[in-house]
């Protein structure tokens, strides 16, 4: 399993200098990837996020981070299709020429109608926007000349030069529903839910396997971005987490496998949604997620971005080495 970090580029602790310094340190500590969210009109989740609407643009952040790192993967989780696909294809390709072949574009259909209405895309089927974006990107990145004439896009004979370094850019589908897993298996290279319970993850991996087999494809890479908090004791870690907010959010999640009680009531019901506790606790929780089929885990410390660096150091010193050792033993 590979490990990444969500960057603190949004909310009350969004800070460019912190992002740059932290990204350099994350690579030194052995993290495999660094990730951003994407919004144009940022509305924090009312259940568990602070209401601060500050937001540093996704591609700007990844380009700056790419310039100060060497090999760490740079990902979007999730890019929202409110940009014109020609622009996105150009920006993404340009990033690979500036920082190397290490970009992963996670794309999702978005949650907020206001964002799409603000850029003139209100009322348009967002899944069709995702499909159209991915198809256009891939044609352009492959060196083709692309035309599109439909109710959303109108252009003829467009080509992109230079095409991305490496010949293409991996695209992951972001979402946590059964449909999102089927779509990832159909036309994407990975599947990346945000927060997802352990039981639901197991069910979705089974769906991915079934859909990929039906499509004659390999199962896509399986990722997730759980909330995280790590400290010297479970109590200290949990004190940073808005547990009631996460429980409320989980109880509103559609198509999730529910706990034996029938609803999310206790912090133990949030396994998979939340990775927390001491380094030992985090290792054990990561191992259970890996056994459930997870390939790439991205730690989301948004509830305590004020202590982002401290928690990163604990993971780098006490968690990643042990998990890497476990993986080495399994591969022998």
Token pair listed for 198: 């352990």
3-class SS of residue 231: coil
Find tokens 């109880």 and name the residue: 251
Q: Residue 274: in which H helix or E strand, if any? A: strand 274-277
Q: Is the peptide bond before 223 cis (omega within 30 degrees of 0)?
A: no
The predicted-structure confidence for 181-237, as pLDDT tens digits, reads as follows 999 999 999 999 999 999 999 999 999 999 999 999 999 999 999 999 999 999 999
Answer for the pair 308, 230: CB distance below 8 angstroms, yes or no: no
Q: Which residues contact 125 (CB under 8 A, 6 or more apart)?
A: none
What's the alpha-carbon Rg for the chain, to the nearest Å?
Answer: 19
How far apart, in whole angstroms, are the C-alpha atoms of residue 314 and residue 130? 37
Output the pTM of the full model: 0.96
How far apart, in whole angstroms, are the C-alpha atoms of residue 236 and residue 265? 20
- Which overall architecture, per CATH, does domain 2-331 show? Alpha-Beta Barrel (3.20)
Token pair listed for 323: 């998990």
The series of mean pLDDT values per 10 residues for the chain, 332 residues long, is 98 97 98 97 87 96 98 97 97 98 96 90 94 98 97 96 96 97 98 96 98 97 98 96 95 92 94 98 98 98 96 98 76 54
E strand intervals along 28-181: 33-36, 73-79, 103-107, 146-149, 154-158, 171-173
> Largest Cα–Cα distance in the chain?
60
Answer for the pair 194, 161: CB distance below 8 angstroms, yes or no: no
CA angle 29, 95, 63 (to 5 degrees): 50
Answer for the pair 43, 89: CB distance below 8 angstroms, yes or no: no
The predicted-structure confidence for 139-181, as pLDDT tens digits, reads as follows 999 999 999 999 899 999 999 999 999 999 999 999 999 999 9
Q: What pLDDT, on a 0 to 100 scale, did the predictor assign at position 49?
A: 87
> What number of other Cβ atoms are within 10 A of residue 304's Cβ?
20
Q: What pLDDT, on a 0 to 100 scale, did the predictor assign at position 50?
A: 87
CA angle 282, 313, 233 (to 5 degrees): 45
């Amino acid at each position: 399993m590979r490990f990444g970090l969500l960057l603190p580029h949004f909310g009350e602790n969004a800070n460019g200098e912190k992002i740059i310094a932290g990204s350099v340190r994350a690579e030194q500590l052995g993290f495999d990837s660094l990730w951003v969210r994407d919004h144009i009109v940022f509305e924090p989740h009312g259940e568990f996020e602070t209401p601060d609407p500050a937001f540093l643009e996704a591609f700007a952040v990844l380009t700056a981070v790419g310039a100060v790192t060497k090999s760490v993967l740079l990902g979007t989780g999730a890019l929202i299709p409110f940009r014109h696909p020609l622009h996105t294809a150009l920006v993404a390709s340009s990033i690979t020429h500036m920082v190397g072949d290490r970009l992963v574009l996670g794309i999702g259909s978005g949650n907020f109608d206001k964002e799409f209405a603000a850029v003139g895309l209100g009322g348009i089927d967002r899944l069709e926007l995702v499909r159209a974006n991915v198809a256009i990107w891939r044609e352009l990145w492959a060196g083709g000349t692309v035309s599109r004439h439909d109710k959303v896009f109108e252009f003829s004979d467009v080509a992109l030069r230079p095409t991305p370094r490496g010949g293409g850019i991996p695209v992951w589908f972001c979402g946590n529903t059964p449909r999102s897993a089927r779509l990832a298996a159909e036309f994407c290279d990975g599947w990346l839910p945000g927060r997802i319970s352990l039981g639901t993850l197991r069910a979705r991996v089974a769906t991915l396997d079934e859909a990929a087999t039906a499509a004659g494809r390999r199962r896509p890479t399986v990722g997730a971005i759980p909330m995280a908090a790590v400290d010297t004791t479970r109590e200290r870690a949990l004190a940073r987490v808005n547990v009631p907010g996460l429980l409320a959010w989980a109880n509103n999640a559609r198509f999730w496998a529910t706990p034996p009680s029938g609803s999310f009531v206790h912090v133990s019901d949030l396994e998979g949604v939340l990775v927390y506790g001491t380094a030992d606790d985090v290792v054990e929780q990561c191992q259970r997620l890996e056994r459930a089929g997870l390939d790439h885990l991205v730690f989301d410390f948004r509830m305590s971005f004020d202590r982002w660096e401290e928690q990163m150091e604990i993971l780098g010193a006490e968690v990643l080495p042990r998990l890497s050792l476990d993986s080495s033993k399994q591969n022998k």
